[in-house]
Every structure is written in structure tokens, then in C-alpha cells.
Amino acid sequence: MHTYLIAGGAGFIGSHLCKRLINQHKIICVDNFATGSRGNLSELIDNDRFELIDADICHLDKIHQLKTTPITHILNLACPASPDQYMQAPIATLMTSVQGSHSLLNLAKHHKSKYIFFSTSEVYGDADSLPTTEKYLGQTDTLSDRACYIEGKRSAETLTHLFRHKFQIPTTVLRVFNTYGPNMQTTDGRVVSNFIMAALQESPLRIDGDGHQTRSFCYIDDLIDAIELILDKPDFGPFNVGASRQTTINELATKIKTLCLSSSPLINQPTRAHDPKKRQPCTESFKAATGWSPTIDLDEGLNKTIQYFKGLS
Ligand code: NAD
Ligand code: UDP
């Protein structure tokens, strides 16, 4: 049995990871509930192997127990992921990635833990090379509305790399592409949750711009399978992880309307500032390291997600 510290464990991806790993391991979930919820952890709270610490990862120094309990793995998912949410708290977002990563990496150094940093496709900016490989260096702007998230993640990748080389900490960087599924917040502003909630309520689905922009949507269970496969691998990466099929936002809206049997109208609004026009990962290097490829197609994943959102009302 290992002991995992899951930072951001009350969020969408983190809560699924806690649920998957609790069967065989002890979990210490650290979360400040900036964008996560206790509801996501309701199945775990009474489990003897689960512990919840309500704290900001930027300020862990005074939590003595984190130094004294041996921790084998640290998974750092703490950071708002929805553009609406991180743009509302830009300084906290940047500091979470930089200062928070520093604090968790020091903890990894203390325990000699395996450390995995959850980075993002956003480090590539509006990529003009598709499918995007890890060698693509990115087109980003330090002063854009998204910079608090993007530059924070880019700096945290550098910090993760430096700790590996300076202190021989076994570290891995995963660049996660758009993932969706149960436990997303209904109001987090991301496209899948927005469209499903609007369709179920017969409200308009808001399409930013002309809707020709694309994303590649991965269902959460596939991502959790991917993470499980990399947990004890020595590779640093960075690795792209995500679905390879591109979907336009127009196609997504129509699909969700159909699956929800909804008659909601689609309305167009101005494009979001600095919105990437296309996004598609090349996941060959992750596949070579782990053998992983996603298995759940978009219709199946959306149906499961729609059932979850229906169950909330
Ligand atoms: P989320 O917002 O649902 O979860 C993030 C969690 O981190 C929340 O529970 C939040 O309360 C917590 N948190 C934020 N700041 C914190 C801090 N300073 N201290 C402690 N806890 C803090 O987001 P998610 O979709 O689950 O994303 C998880 C991670 O994966 C993020 O790091 C995100 O950048 C990355 N990621 C996600 C996606 C995606 O499509 N979901 C894509 C790329 C990258
Ligand atoms: N989007 C949209 N309507 C919404 C929410 C988002 O058209 O209600 C668009 C958004 O402008 C972007 C894409 O959907 O082009 C994905 O947005 P999201 O916030 O989910 O994630 P991103 O990939 O931009 O981080």
C-alpha cells in the first residue's frame, strides 16, 4: 500500500483519482476548495484510508503531519482549470502553479516521493502545428488574459524539471488536453458543462465566435486509466494525454442537444480573447511509454456525463 498526496483532490479530475486509488492505497487530499467541492468526495469521507486537509498548497509549511507521515507519491492537480475561473483569480492562479509547486516539490524532496505535475495543452498557446507534439515550443503571450494559467504552468514545468536534475526527485509532467465527465461543476464555465446544463434547462447554448474552433475531448475514465499507467514509470515526459479526435464547438453543441432531446436554440457571441482556434494532441510518446489509448467515444462519454448532470437536479 502506498500513500498518495493528491493536491486538488476535491476537483473534477482529482476526485476521480482519489476514488480510483483508495481501493489499494492511503490518500491524503489537500484542497482549498477554490474550485472543488466536498460533494465530489462524499463517497470517500468515511473511508479510514482517506484524509482531507483543507489548505492552500502555497502554505503547507505549518502542517507538521505532512512532514512526519511518509508519502510515496505526490500528484499536483491543484489549480483552477476553467478559463472563466482562473481569469477571475489570476494572481492566486499564477501563485498556485509557482509557489504551490515549489512547496510540494520540497515535500517530495523531503520524502523522496514520486511527483507528478498536471500541466496543460495551454502551454502550446494557439498551436499552428497539429496534431501537436511535445516538441512544439508554444506560442504564448506573457500578458494575455490566459497568461496567469499558461505561464504558471510553464514555470511549474521548469521547476519540476529542475528538482529532478538538482535533487534527483523522480518527476513526471503530464500535459492534459480537454477532459470532461461527472464531477465537473455545473457552473464552472467550461464548454461541456455549460452546454449540457443549458440543453437540460432548455436555455440557449452560447457558442463563442463562429463555432469552427476545435477541441479534442477525452472522457474522464480514459484519463484516469492513463494516469494509473504512468504512476510508477520513471519517465519525465513531458507527455501529452488526451483524445485525438477533433470536434468543432458547433458539432459539440448539436450533439449535446440531440443527446439531451433538447430544443434549446444555439446563439453566437463574440469570440473569447486569445481563444485557441484548434487543439489536438499527438499522444504517441505517452502510448510508447504506457501502451495507453482512449477507448470511450464522444457519444458514450457525453451520455454518461448527461446522466450525471440529470441526477443532480
Ligand atoms: P478543478 O478546478 O475541478 O480542480 C482543481 C482543484 O484544485 C479544485 O478542487 C481546487 O479547489 C483546487 N485548488 C485550486 N487552487 C488550490 C490551492 N492553491 N491550494 C489547494 N487546492 C487548490 O480542475 P480540474 O479540471 O480537475 O483540473 C485539475 C488539474 O488538471 C489542473 O491542474 C488543471 O490545470 C489540469 N488540467 C485539466 C484539464 C481539464 O480538461 N479538466 C485540462 C488540462 C489540464
Ligand atoms: N465555449 C463556448 N461556449 C461556452 C463555453 C465555451 O462556445 O459556453 C468555447 C470556448 O470559447 C472555447 C471552447 O468552447 O472555444 C472550449 O472552452 P473551455 O472553456 O471549455 O476550455 P478551453 O479549451 O478554452 O480551456
CA distance 104 to 171: 12
Q: Please list every protein residue whose CB sits less than 6 Å from any atom of ligand 1.
A: 7-8, 10-14, 30-36, 56-58, 77-81, 96, 100, 118, 120, 176, 178-179
- 10: DSSP letter: T
Looking at residues 231-239, what average pLDDT do you find?
97
Whether pLDDT at 254 is above 90: yes
The pLDDT score that the predictor gives to residue 307 is: 98
**Confidence class for position 251, pLDDT limits 50, 70, 90:** very high
Q: Whose grid coordinates read 507528478? A: 116
Helices (H), the chain: 12-21, 64-68, 83-88, 90-95, 101-111, 147-167, 191-200, 220-230, 249-259, 284-290, 298-312
Looking at residues 249-268, what average pLDDT do you find?
98
One-character DSSP codes across 246-274: -EEHHHHHHHHHHHTT--PPEEEEPPPTT
The pLDDT score that the predictor gives to residue 73 is: 98
Query: Phi and psi at residue 296, in whole multiples of 5°?
Result: -105, 120
Ligand 2: distance of its center to the CA of 93 in Å? 19
What is the grid cell recorded at 226?
A: 492513463
**Residue 198 Cα: closest atom of ligand 2:** 8
The pLDDT score that the predictor gives to residue 166 is: 98
Looking at residues 65-88, what average pLDDT do you find?
97
Biggest alpha carbon distance in the chain? 58
Q: Which ligand is nearest to the CA of 192?
A: 2
Q: Cα 136 to the chain's mean position, in Å? A: 20
Position 7: which residue type? A
Residue range 141-192, pLDDT digits in tens:
999 999 999 999 999 999 999 999 999 999 999 999 999 999 999 999 999 9
Distances in Å between the alpha carbon of 173 and those of 32, 129, 237? Answer: 23, 21, 6
- Does the Cβ of 228 fall within 6 Å of ligand 2? no
Q: How many CA atoms lie within 13 A of 31 on its CB side?
A: 26
The pLDDT score that the predictor gives to residue 164 is: 98
The pLDDT score that the predictor gives to residue 13 is: 98
Ligand 1: distance of its center to the CA of 239 in Å? 18
Query: Which residues on adjacent β-strands are paired with residue 206?
Result: 267
Q: Is the previous residue joined to 70 through a cis bond, with omega within 30 degrees of 0? A: no
CA distance 50 to 4: 10
Looking at residues 228-248, what average pLDDT do you find?
97
Position 128: which residue type? D
The pLDDT score that the predictor gives to residue 103 is: 98
Q: Which ligand is nearest to the CA of 219?
A: 1
The pLDDT score that the predictor gives to residue 265 is: 98
Looking at residues 115-137, what average pLDDT do you find?
97
What is the grid cell recorded at 175?
A: 500535459
Q: Whose grid coordinates read 494516469? A: 227
Ligand 2: distance of its center to the CA of 164 in Å? 34
Kindly report the average pLDDT of the chain as a whole number: 97
Residue range 265-283, pLDDT digits in tens:
999 999 999 999 999 999 9
Instruction: Tell me which residue has its CA closest to atom 28 in ligand 1.
Output: 77
The pLDDT score that the predictor gives to residue 240 is: 98
Task: State yes or no: is 308 an active-site residue.
Answer: no
The pLDDT score that the predictor gives to residue 168 is: 97
What percentage of the chain has pLDDT greater than the value 90? 99
Length of the chain equals: 313
Whether pLDDT at 209 is above 80: yes
Instruction: Tell me which residue has its CA closest to atom 22 in ligand 2.
Output: 83
- Pairing relationship of beta strands 73-76 and 114-120 according to DSSP bridges: parallel
CATH topology of domain 191-213+246-277+302-312: UDP-galactose 4-epimerase; domain 1 (3.90.25)
Whether pLDDT at 313 is above 80: no
Question: Are 105 and 160 in contact, with CB atoms under 8 Å apart?
Answer: yes
CATH topology of domain 3-180+219-244+280-295: Rossmann fold (3.40.50)
Domain parsing of the chain, residue ranges: 3-180+219-244+280-295, 191-213+246-277+302-312
Residue range 3-23, pLDDT digits in tens:
999 999 999 999 999 999 999
The pLDDT score that the predictor gives to residue 239 is: 98
The pLDDT score that the predictor gives to residue 221 is: 98
The pLDDT score that the predictor gives to residue 198 is: 98
Whether pLDDT at 44 is above 90: yes
CA distance 171 to 165: 10
Ligand 1: distance of its center to the CA of 79 in Å? 4
C-alpha triplet 254, 255, 261: angle, nearest 5°: 90
Check 149, 180, 219, 308 and give the catalytic one: 149
